[in-house]
Amino acid sequence: MHSFHFTPFQSLAAALIPNLLQTTDGSHDHSHLLRVWNNAKAIHAGEGGNLELLCAAVLLHDCILVPKDSPQRNQASQLAADKAIHILQTLHWPADHIAIVASAIRTHSYSAGLTPTSIEGRILQDADRLDAIGFTGIARCFYTAGRMNSQLYHADDPTASSRPLDDRSFALDHFPQKLLKLAINFTTATGQALAISRAQTLQSFYEGMLAEITTS
147: CATH: 1.10.3210.50
Structural domain includes residue 121: no
Structural domain includes residue 17: yes
> Which of residues 115, 140, 164 is at a domain's end?
115
Residue 111 pLDDT class (50, 70, 90 cuts): confident
Q: Structurally, how many domains does the chain consist of?
A: 2
Examine the pLDDT at 3 and tell me if it is beyond 90. Answer: no
Instruction: Indicate if 94 and 162 belong to the same structural domain.
Output: no
What is the reported pTM?
A: 0.91
Res 57: pLDDT: 97
Examine the pLDDT at 171 and tell me if it is beyond 70. Answer: yes
Residues of the domain holding 70: 1-115
Res 67: pLDDT: 65
Give one DSSP letter per residue of the chain, joined into a string. Answer: --GGGGTT-HHHHHHHGGGS---S-TTSSHHHHHHHHHHHHHHHHHH---HHHHHHHHHHTTSS---TT-TTGGGHHHHHHHHHHHHHHHTT--HHHHHHHHHHHHHH-TTTT----SHHHHHHHHHHHHTTSHHHHHHHHHHHHHHTT-BSS-SS-TT-SSS---TTTBGGGHIIIIIHHHTT---SHHHHHHHHHHHHHHHHHHHHHHHHHH--
Res 28: pLDDT: 81
Instruction: Indicate if 8 and 94 belong to the same structural domain.
Output: yes
Examine the pLDDT at 110 and tell me if it is beyond 80. Answer: no
Structural domain includes residue 158: yes
